[in-house]
Structure 1
Amino acid sequence: MKPTILLLTFAAAFLIHRGALAANRYVDCDIGDDGGEGTSDDPWQTLQFAVDNINNGDTIIVRPGFCEGCRISESGAPGAGRKTLRGEPGVTIDMPGIENAHGSNIEVELFDATVSHWIIEGFELANAPRSGVDLRGTSDITVRLCDVHDSGRTGIFTAFSDDAVIEYNESAFNGEHGVYTSNSGDRPQIRGNLLHHNASAGVHMNGDRNFTPGDGIITGATVEQNEIWENGTRGASAINCDGVSDSMFRNNLLYGNHASGISLYAIDGAEGSSRNQVYNNTIVMAADSRWVINIPSSEGGISNPVGNKIKNNILFTPRIDRGSILIYQPTIDGFESDYNVVVNRFSTDDGNSIINLSTWRNRGHDRNSLVASPANLFVDPNAPFDPDFHLRPGSLAIDRGTAVPVFIDLDWVARPQGPRWDIGAYEFIM
């Protein structure tokens, strides 16, 4: 069963379980009336009136049409008390609401307190001056099943937001990033998204020690099962991590991106991105890209990244002057890289020189890894509109990985299918 179907099935069961404790309220931006009852027969007209006037556990259902956005400043409650703002198919929010403060189409913020326990789902969010969805000072907010595009800056943005869940969205053609989590917001979950043709990063994460409150580090993030392609023409990695530590990056497919693949570093963050697990990703770079995995020295006297683990990944670049992994010095405390498919190029001095796999292995890295090209790995990596990065029969990545905490693949197939984990985002099925 597809992830979206599972999600909607769960949502339906959840609403049945809540039963009479929750109410559905309706909005029709064309023919509704905010003086009405908000019922199916007498819908409200504006999102702003709706989000200001529902109770804990209620769901706002927005009917098809064009709507202006809203600013959410009233919290729901945990569990069954979460409030939901849901668009039916055909709803487009194409401008900020009159109470919005940042030029974003949907904003969740209360300046002197935390806004918590909302679900925002099912909207097309277009042409925002800043962001399609903008969360600031929040906790337990889910944004899912939205199509966010052509924002002036970022598609989905968070700041000082703990436990944000950003899942099964498409965020594309935005002026900066597809998804941007910032300012020490811990435990974000970014999963199942399609992030493409953004001018900068697909996912940008920035702990940022320059803003308070907060420790300047994003911790406990999970970035998984995303497809990220054709980003970075203005720079910024497909997955860009500035001060992001103790986090998991798994089962992501990154291809055709124009800067780096995954970068773990610190410019604004309070420490170099450290103790992260980078497992079972497939990363195939564009011809004009940078390094596949980029772990440079930190800037501004901040501690360098340590303790990152890179296993079971396909790390391919066609460039002969770049390679699979860049680190800032030959020996890094706790750094592990092994059981990957790589190209024969690495750097241990911030990219100032390139060494081959033999020398890289002599320094303790990737002793069980192998060199292979896309033709020896994938079903059809060169298809012009829909490349296929599933492992082909006989792929050199089959049964060449090691046991890691990744028990499904990008298609929700159980791992491992054979005696060992396959390498990359997809597990091979006979």
Structure 2
Amino acid sequence: MPSAPSRSNLARPGRSRGHGRARFAGLALAASMVWLGTPCVGQAQALFFTDLESGSNRGGEGDNGAFVTAYGRGFGSSQGSSSVTVGGGEAVSYPIWSDTRITFQLGPAARTGDVVVTTARGASNPLPFTVRSGSIFFVASRGSDTNGGSYARPWATVVHAKNTMTPGDVTYLMDGVSQTSEENAGAAVAIERGGEPGRPLALVAYPGARTTIGSTALEYGVRALTNEGTVVGDWVLAGLVLRGQVSAAEIGGFGSERWRVVGNDISCPVGDGQTGCFAAALASHVAFLGNEVHNVGTQAPAQPSKQYHAVYFTTDTNHVEAGWNHIHDNATCRAIQLHSSPLCIPDCGPADTTGFNQHSISIHDNLIHGDVCDGINLATVDPSRGSVRVFNNLIFDVGRGPSPPDGDANYAGIYVAGSTNNGPDGSGVVEVFNNTLYDCGARAFQPNSVGDEGAFARGPGSPGLIMELVNNLVLALPGEHYLSPSSATTLIRGSNNLWRGAGQAPSNLSLNVEADPLLVDPASLDFHLRPGSPAVDAGTDVELEHDHDGVSRPQGSGYDLGAFELVAPAQGIRRGARRIGGG
């Protein structure tokens, strides 16, 4: 029988310490390669999402309309004879074409319909796109705010563009553009108005450009301000470098809806406080997709507070999709935190109209590693009001400690606290399925272990709220825990999970698989399954169409366990598959 993982063959590579924080050193690139690897032979390309979901096919550079960036995998390292069509009409140019990202310009043939990538392997799954009216502007370091904002006569500043656009407009920021001085309220860019449903305002990096908003000298990079009588929503922020002393981007506000934050580089190296480097409050229908959130708090004078997080969906933020993000090497407490905090409006206590449990949450296909406390913390959720689903995530080296300076926290891969700050307790089922977790909860090895360390954890609150574990794959190091010792195990149910490395599987779960999962090379962060793995076809049907790589599920007679499906070479992505996520 294969041996259990040991500290010699599954050791944490390259550990280093700074301010007492243990971190994976030099593994960000390797981890990115796991997520962005070459698709398996025989798999058609998969489209995950686009930055813009609507735009004009006229105006802009060459009068050929908006540039759109599509993210996925399997497109090929160069275009060759491949193409993108929008509503059946082919795009006119492709300034960027890589295996995981294509930027194309719509052109006059584009029509409202589906974005489809066609290569020698066939056509991808479709993503919807709306061709509509709207102006296209440009900002360049050579420009002037007295210009008209055209490609030939661009504006000079992001602030002028933000203040001049009207609903439906897109502004592209050219290479070298930066806004690092304060506009208002501690922010480099203060957003005080919004677009309209179906006609968002968009700030987007020009293809291949590096553009920066914010700095570590300013509290905020981008900040939405809520003024009386105004609603700030219907915005797209895409392809930008966002920086802040505390928050690189803080969005939301009363009545705020339809934010699309896509493909940004987000960091707050000196960050600390009671918020997140990315924070959304009082917001609804937030799409946080394909962002890299990294090195948050790693240069702070001291270890950040347990109330400071890399990505934070807070007060009454619902209908959230957080997918395909790479959140790594942060000194924050949690990588992704959901916690609805009351704001005492109009008064604290029973009269408060804020801080209710959150719902309609989809957290999927993220790569999360290198954080002090939890990888994903669902503190205040109520799936009875709208599904709460966590799936296809790859999570490792989280819950490593040490304890934050303001007290202990929890140290799990995925944690459901069951907390309630206002209104009724959460109830229903939090669905946690087809995730791969490795080396979670190493805080257990440090002095004064608190018992809240493990791959999964369930707090004691909200007795009608069930954490359901299905089709997950957990690889622990000896001495780590599958479920935190403090977990309320009567509130955890599930089946068809694989457990390896920390002894017997949890007895409160059924149809456990206790065997070496035969991963390709977990010590080098390749968590794909090898042929013959006991995880293959061992899952139950969860109506999930794709894995973390975009490979169609199931490939065999049943669903595979964990985030990755073992590829059957003759099969490909289903045509017409629905888009994962939403809520």
- Scaled by the length of structure 1, what TM-score is found? 0.84
Q: How far apart in 2 are the matches of 1:155 and 1:3?
A: 28
Q: How far apart in 1 are the matches of 2:418 and 2:132?
A: 50
- Which residue in 2 is equivalent to 1:129? 245
Q: How far apart in 2 are the matches of 1:19 and 1:328?
A: 50
Confirm whether residue 409 of structure 1 aligns to residue 547 of structure 2: yes
Q: CA deviation at 1:389?
A: 0.5
Change (3 A) 1:330 1:136: closer
> In 2, are the aligned partners of 1:379 and 1:392 still within 8 Å (CA)?
yes
- Which residue in 2 is equivalent to 1:218? 358
276-285 or 205-214, which deviates more: 205-214
Q: How far apart in 1 are the matches of 2:521 and 2:340?
A: 38
Confirm whether residue 111 of structure 1 aligns to residue 230 of structure 2: no
> In 2, are the aligned partners of 1:193 and 1:227 still within 8 Å (CA)?
yes
The aligned amino acid for 2:147 is: G
Measured against aligned partners, the alpha-carbon deviations of 1:385-421 in whole angstroms (never above 9, x if no partner) come to xx10111111111111101132210011111111111
Q: How far apart in 2 are the matches of 1:239 and 1:20?
A: 38
Confirm whether residue 164 of structure 1 aligns to residue 275 of structure 2: no
- Which residue in 2 is equivalent to 1:64? 175
- Which residue in 1 is equivalent to 2:454? 291
Q: CA deviation at 1:34?
A: 1.5
3-state SS, counterpart of residue 161 of structure 1? strand
Confirm whether residue 83 of structure 1 aligns to residue 242 of structure 2: no
Q: How far apart in 1 are the matches of 2:370 and 2:378?
A: 18
Measured on the aligned residues, the alpha-carbon RMSD in Å equals: 2.7
Correspondence for 1:367 among 488, 510, 534: 510
- Which residue in 1 is equivalent to 2:156? 45
The aligned amino acid for 2:235 is: W
Change (3 A) 1:202 1:329: closer
Measured against aligned partners, the alpha-carbon deviations of 1:239-279 in whole angstroms (never above 9, x if no partner) come to 01110232010100001222310010045644368521001
The aligned amino acid for 2:362 is: T
Confirm whether residue 264 of structure 1 aligns to residue 416 of structure 2: yes
Change (3 A) 1:5 1:182: closer
3-state SS, counterpart of residue 309 of structure 1? strand
Q: CA deviation at 1:229?
A: 0.8
Q: CA deviation at 1:143?
A: 0.3
Structure-to-structure mapping, 1:233-244, within 5 angstroms = 236-244=373-381
Q: How far apart in 2 are the matches of 1:327 and 1:370?
A: 23
- Which residue in 1 is equivalent to 2:267? 149
> In 2, are the aligned partners of 1:106 and 1:134 still within 8 Å (CA)?
yes
The aligned amino acid for 1:371 is: E
Change (3 A) 1:190 1:273: farther
- Which residue in 1 is equivalent to 2:392? 251
> In 1, are the aligned partners of 2:294 and 2:329 still within 8 Å (CA)?
yes
Correspondence for 2:335 among 202, 205, 211: 202
> In 2, are the aligned partners of 1:22 and 1:57 still within 8 Å (CA)?
yes
Q: CA deviation at 1:70?
A: 1.1
Change (3 A) 1:256 1:37: same
Q: How far apart in 1 are the matches of 2:486 and 2:464?
A: 9
44-53 or 218-227, which deviates more: 44-53
- Scaled by the length of structure 2, what TM-score is found? 0.63
Q: CA deviation at 1:85?
A: 0.8
- Which residue in 2 is equivalent to 1:180? 312
Change (3 A) 1:305 1:242: farther
- Which residue in 1 is equivalent to 2:9? none
Q: CA deviation at 1:141?
A: 0.5
181-190 or 197-206, which deviates more: 197-206
The aligned amino acid for 1:278 is: V
- Which residue in 2 is equivalent to 1:21? 133
Change (3 A) 1:329 1:5: closer
Q: CA deviation at 1:319?
A: 4.0
- Which residue in 2 is equivalent to 1:280? 434
- Which residue in 1 is equivalent to 2:7? none
- Which residue in 2 is equivalent to 1:425? 563
Q: CA deviation at 1:372?
A: 2.8
3-state SS, counterpart of residue 284 of structure 2? coil
284-293 or 241-250, which deviates more: 284-293
Change (3 A) 1:108 1:382: same
The aligned amino acid for 2:136 is: N
The aligned amino acid for 2:381 is: V
Q: How far apart in 1 are the matches of 2:233 and 2:510?
A: 47
Correspondence for 2:476 among 313, 317, 326: 317
105-114 or 413-422, which deviates more: 105-114
Q: CA deviation at 1:92?
A: 3.1
286-295 or 113-122, which deviates more: 286-295
Structure-to-structure mapping, 1:88-99, within 5 angstroms = 88=206, 89-95=208-214
> In 2, are the aligned partners of 1:317 and 1:324 still within 8 Å (CA)?
no
| Number of corresponding residues | 396
Change (3 A) 1:323 1:243: same
3-state SS, counterpart of residue 342 of structure 1? strand
Confirm whether residue 379 of structure 1 aligns to residue 520 of structure 2: yes
- Which residue in 1 is equivalent to 2:368? 228
> In 1, are the aligned partners of 2:458 and 2:488 still within 8 Å (CA)?
no
Change (3 A) 1:209 1:345: farther
> In 1, are the aligned partners of 2:433 and 2:469 still within 8 Å (CA)?
yes
Change (3 A) 1:255 1:218: same
Measured against aligned partners, the alpha-carbon deviations of 1:167-206 in whole angstroms (never above 9, x if no partner) come to 0111101124331110111111100100001112211111
Measured against aligned partners, the alpha-carbon deviations of 1:289-333 in whole angstroms (never above 9, x if no partner) come to 4211100213xxxx346222110001232142533465744534x
150-159 or 171-180, which deviates more: 150-159
3-state SS, counterpart of residue 442 of structure 2? coil
Change (3 A) 1:407 1:218: same
Q: How far apart in 1 are the matches of 2:314 and 2:322?
A: 13
> In 2, are the aligned partners of 1:208 and 1:242 still within 8 Å (CA)?
no
3-state SS, counterpart of residue 420 of structure 1? coil
> In 2, are the aligned partners of 1:206 and 1:268 still within 8 Å (CA)?
no
Q: How far apart in 2 are the matches of 1:244 and 1:419?
A: 34
The aligned amino acid for 1:166 is: F
The aligned amino acid for 2:358 is: I
Q: CA deviation at 1:84?
A: 1.1
3-state SS, counterpart of residue 418 of structure 1? coil
3-state SS, counterpart of residue 285 of structure 2? coil
Q: CA deviation at 1:344?
A: 7.6
Q: How far apart in 2 are the matches of 1:406 and 1:381?
A: 24
Report percent identity of matched pairs.
22
- Which residue in 2 is equivalent to 1:351? none
Q: How far apart in 2 are the matches of 1:372 and 1:345?
A: 11
The aligned amino acid for 2:567 is: I
Measured against aligned partners, the alpha-carbon deviations of 1:15-63 in whole angstroms (never above 9, x if no partner) come to 94466721111112x2222222111122112111111111211101111
The aligned amino acid for 2:417 is: Y
3-state SS, counterpart of residue 207 of structure 1? coil
Unaligned 5+ segments in structure 1 are: 347-355
The aligned amino acid for 1:279 is: F
